[in-house]
Structure 1
Amino acid sequence: METIGKIRRRHHVGGESISAIARSLNLSRNTVKKYLNAQAEPAYRRSVQPKPQLGAFSVLIEQWLVSDAALPKARRRTARRLFEGLQAAGYHGAYDSVQRHVKAWKAAASVRGAVTQAFVPLSFAPGEVGQFDWSYEYVVLGGVTQTIKLAHFRLAHSRAMFVVAYPRETQEMVLDAHDRAFAFFGGVPQKMIYDNLKTVVDAVFSGKERQFNRRFLALANHYLFEPVACTPASGWEKGQVENQVGNIREWLFTPTPRFADFKELNAWLEQRCRELAERVHPDKQGTIAEAWAAERPALRPVSMPFHGYVEQPLRVSSTCLISVDRNRYSVPAAWAGKVVSVRISATHVRVAAEGNMIAEHERLFGRDQLACQPWHYVPILETKPGALRHGQPFIEWQLPLAIGVVRTFLLKQPKGDRAFADLLLAARSSGLEALDVACQLALEHGHPHASVVLNELRRLTEPTHRPIMEVPVALILRNEPAANCGRYDSLLGGCHV
């Protein structure tokens, strides 16, 4: 195009002859004339690509491509393999011709196979349908960029939305997310629509028949909603929440937000869901919040939340620990070597045995972390007091100041391990507060010995008044003797010693 412009300017503006322009630009006179007379932009590519070598084999290669299209992608032949097959059939042309033909055939096949799907506008009655889905997002938590799982809920009638974030996509997270969502919405819809999640569906049968997970069915039975699983690869059956995933990513996670922890993140997400509800409803007059308020009476009220935990039996190790999701949690020493029931929720790990809750920890996420409660190991000090110096639960134990001073003093004394272990054993029922006061009193007296601290602890914890004993009626004296000290003088018989 630059050459054409130059020729036309030199001839029409500068007045140069065709011969002079041809000699100057090293072009033929006919080429210069063609460019001067051209009215449209010149085309440099041939509209039809001749295939002198491949033309005779085009039918064969297209047969191979059609047969390969019915195979799994990993078993389809590449253009190179097709070229080698054509060579064996007598083809003597270049590989590039085969490659271009294969590329053009696949492009045409994709156009032929592309069908624009049509959908019917849907309408949902108030409180009839809710939709659920998962997505992954990126956030900065505590200064570290992490991938989180976001649980999405949507009321199909009012378009009200709720999202909550978790570190992973496990069943206890699904159960906890439903508790939070129904509390946020102020009720439960009649139906909830899901993908065929492994945490929800155990088996997929023909049609809409599903075998739902037993723990998930316990959740559905508690809240009295009907679970419905979509047809595989048919996300349009819950199209509202599918669209919500992309909208939430754009509205809330672009750019990447920053928070201290999941608690702060989820509080922000709940607030943002309330703010987004102030937008105009796409199908009704007014806002989403107004439609949500009108729908709330049609939702089934929540009488009490569902305890969303997953329970499994585990054996306590000799170090009084159980392992949950690559992290370890302590259990009272009395249960070492025994089987306990562990209830794992989204936020806590609780341990039960013989119908009683024996331990509770905040759940740890990550790997190879340890959560110890020192009181679980105090009974072991009765036989192993030396564990005070190097036992991990006791090294990391943040004791009150007065108890720490007494501990430092006692551990420098002979048999100080045993002395301080006796203090902890004595404080099992009263707790650290009473032991701290006893240590303060002993330090004020200048005698922080174990015996002094134990004496002060008993004075603090023992009742000030002994309980009055109830005497049976048969033992009550009818005539109580009067006190007469002179009787002792009579017993002396006038003898004075």
Structure 2
Amino acid sequence: MTATDTQVRISMRERLQGKSQEQAAAKANLRSRKTVAKYERLRQLPSQRKQRRSYRTRRDPFAADWPQAEALLAGAPELEAKTLFDWLCEQAPGKYQAGQLRTFQRRVATWRALHQAQVAVLEQVHRPGEVLQTDGVWLTELGVTIQGQPLAHLFIHSVLPYSNWEWGCLAQSESLAALQLGLQATLSRLAAVPRFHQTDNSSAATQNVSASDSTTPQAQRGYTEGYLHLLAHYGLEPRLTHRQAPQENGDVESLHGGFKQALTQHLLLRGRRDFDSLTAYSLFIEGVLTQRNAARQVRLAEELAVMKSLTVAPLAAVRSYRVRVSRNSLIRIERNHYSLPTSLIGCLVNVQVHEWHLDVGYGSQTVLTLPRLRGHGQQQINYRHLVDSLLRKPGGFRDYRYREALFPRLVFRQAWERLNRWLSPRRADLAYLRILRLAAQTLESDVAAALAQLLPCAEPWDETAVEALLPRRVPPVPEVQRGVVSLAAYDQLLQEGPYVRH
């Protein structure tokens, strides 16, 4: 049996204590004193005498096909070992077995380690108060709802790398307006301004710079005018990460995961993920951030000591438009369409676009507040705005461009399909539009409940049957308190003399 390092150390210790070789061998459980003598002479441990094996102990099963696999790996380093193994099995049916996949994966891993160069991540030294990093992180996957409605949203996340202090705000998309809201919320919370603001190459802050516009290569990204104006207002200098290099925004990127995990845990403690309003949800997030920042106050104080004080007021995060309401009772704002009451057709309206909503005003009065649509090419059509016009011209319903918006719930579409089966096209459209008017004049939920009762019926029905099922809500008559009249009060007025006009 080969001696171990521990046995040799024990025997050497015994020899130093004056024991004989036989005694040292017995103490270390070695079979012979010759083993003790051997390692006394060599002055090495058994592990130090081992030589790395440079030969194979079995035949390489992939030797014949490895040159082809290596050529494919060199041409496309992103190829996975499993994909290459499946390709080899297709090229030589029956030659390889599924149990050899792990061997092939080790072979590919060895090749990558020896031949595939990678880009090293260079650890950065962070200085107090130098830079604020900002990035957007999507939170839709948390499953948060506002009054039962799913909320698609992200968080504009800002981090001071030196202290890891973090803040931000909710937004619908990673736009310049959202970036402005997040940056201003963070600076207002800090009441101080660092030297640099760093972000990635998102379209909120950058745009492609063509060769004709700059001496930089065409792939270079330049700052947008709006972003530069925002930074100039606060006295910030821009700093940009390289394209496809998120690690350069490493602190904020790495804190995304911890922030989302903290939100998840606090939502679990809360017991539900529904909030009464967006404001309530924002306050919940602020509470989580305050708790996370509590342990960062010492290093934050170092940063605040070298930052400039915030001395300017926030910029208005509102975009204003003045548009005319089309004859279709629609307005087009930022490449999305919104319906308005038909009374505004032909009028010029003032539209203020906020992050989450639009305020539509006529003259000095705000007449409507609408949720803001994300993206482009979307429509927000309110059937209540158009149902009266459609009843005057019911022939326009069937081929209306935005007809799908006139089915507020699935049960309304099912009702129209049922009416379309029983009645002529014009009569079916007219009956459905009258049902839709009932929903506009009463409660949509009551009309939906009535339709749900009628759909299983085999007998034909129309809008009169729906109206008959609606609950009768009689407004309460207020009780009028009759006052007690005292005629003596009039006598007192007569005694005070005639009324004199001055």
In which range does the TM-score fall when normalised by the shorter chain? Answer: 0.5 to 0.7
- With over 3 angstroms needed to count, the CA separation of the structure-2 counterparts of 1:211 and 1:93, relative to structure 1, is same
Q: Compute the displacement of 1:369 (Å).
A: 5.3
Distance 1:197 1:61, change over 3 A: same
Q: Check whether the contact 1:330–1:373 (CA below 8 A) recurs between aligned residues.
A: no
C-alpha separation in 1, matches of 2:303 and 2:285: 18
Counterpart in 1 of 2:231? Answer: 220
Give a deviation string over 1:283-326, Cα, whole Å, max 9, x none: xxx364x446535xx33424222122345675523353335586
* Match status 1:50 vs 2:45: no
- 3-state SS of paired residue (1:198): coil
Decide whether aligned partners of structure 1 residues 332 and 308 sit closer, same or farther in structure 2, where only a CA change above 3 A counts: farther
CA deviations over 1:50-79 (Å, ceiling 9, x no partner): 247x54x24533443344336x759x9743
Q: Which of these residues, 351, 357, 360, is aligned with residue 348 of structure 1?
A: 357
Q: Are 1:111 and 2:113 an aligned pair?
A: yes
Q: CA RMSD in A?
A: 4.9
**Where do residues 34-433 of structure 1 align in structure 2 (5 Å cutoff)?**
48-51=57-60, 54-55=62-63, 57-58=64-65, 60-69=67-76, 78-85=84-91, 87=92, 94-96=95-97, 102-112=104-114, 113=116, 117=120, 119-126=122-129, 128-137=130-139, 138-141=142-145, 142-143=147-148, 146=151, 148-203=153-208, 206=217, 210-254=221-265, 256=267, 258-260=273-275, 261-280=277-296, 286=298, 288=300, 290-291=301-302, 294-295=305-306, 298-310=307-319, 316-318=325-327, 320-322=329-331, 328-330=338-340, 333-334=343-344, 336-337=345-346, 342-351=351-360, 359=367, 361-364=369-372, 395=441
Q: CA deviation at 1:247?
A: 1.9
CA contact (8 A) 1:320 1:330 kept: yes
Shift of 1:221: 3.2
Give the whole-Å Cα distance in 1 for the aligned partners of 2:382 and 2:291.
38
115-124 or 154-163, which deviates more? 115-124
Summarize deviations over 1:224-254 as a string: whole Å, max 9, x none: 3222220123233222212221221222323
SS in 1 for 2:67: helix
**1:20 maps to what in 2?**
none
- Counterpart mapping for 1:425-444 below 5 A: none
In the TM superposition, residue 358 of structure 1 has moved relative to its aligned partner by 6.1
Q: Is the 8 A contact 2:188 2:310 kept in 1?
A: no
Q: Using a 3 Å threshold, how does the CA distance of structure 1 residues 394 and 101 change in structure 2: closer, same or farther?
A: closer
C-alpha deviations, 1:194-239, integer Å up to 9, x for none?
Answer: 0111222111655996322333333223333222220123233222
| Equivalent residue pairs, number | 334
Deviation at 1:352, TM superposition (A): 6.7
Q: How much has 1:192 moved relative to structure 2?
A: 0.8
Kindly provide the CA deviation profile for residues 318-366 of structure 1, in whole angstroms up to 9, marking residues without a partner as x. 35333558673536835x2467664422133134789x77655153568
Shift of 1:156: 3.5
CA 1:343–1:217: 2 relative to 1, 3 Å: farther
Whole-angstrom distance in 2 between the partners of 1:139 and 1:291: 38
Matches of 1:444 and 1:321 in 2, distance apart?
48
Distance in 2 (CA, whole Å) between partners of 1:326 and 1:256 is 34
Sequence identity, in percent? 16
Larger Rg: 1
Residue by residue over 1:8-53, the C-alpha shift from the partner in whole angstroms, topping out at 9 and shown as x without a partner, is xxxxxxxxxxxxxxxxxxxxxxxxxxxxxxxxxxxxxxx844247x
Aligned to 1:471: none
What TM-score comes out, normalization by structure 1 length? 0.53
User: What CA distance in whole angstroms lies between the structure 1 residues aligned with 2:219 and 2:71?
Assistant: 38
Residues 73 and 79, structure 2, Cα contact 8 Å, conserved in 1: no
Equivalents in 1 of 2:96, 2:242: separation in Å? 44
Match for 2:164: what amino acid? Answer: R
Deviation at 1:175, TM superposition (A): 2.5
User: What amino acid sits opposite 1:186 in the alignment?
Assistant: A
Work out whether residues 69 and 84 of structure 2, in 8 Å CA contact, stay in contact via their aligned partners in 1.
Answer: no
Does the residue aligned with 2:193 lie in a helix, a strand or coil? coil
Contact 2:199 2:240 in 1 (8 A): yes
- Structure 2, unaligned stretches of length 5 or more? 1-55, 210-215, 390-434, 444-476, 483-501
CA displacement 1:423-444 (0-9 Å, x = unmatched): xxxxxxxxxxxxxxxx99xx99
The answer on whether the counterparts of 1:350 and 1:357 sit within 8 Å (CA) in structure 2 is: no
Distance 1:100 1:274 in 2: 48
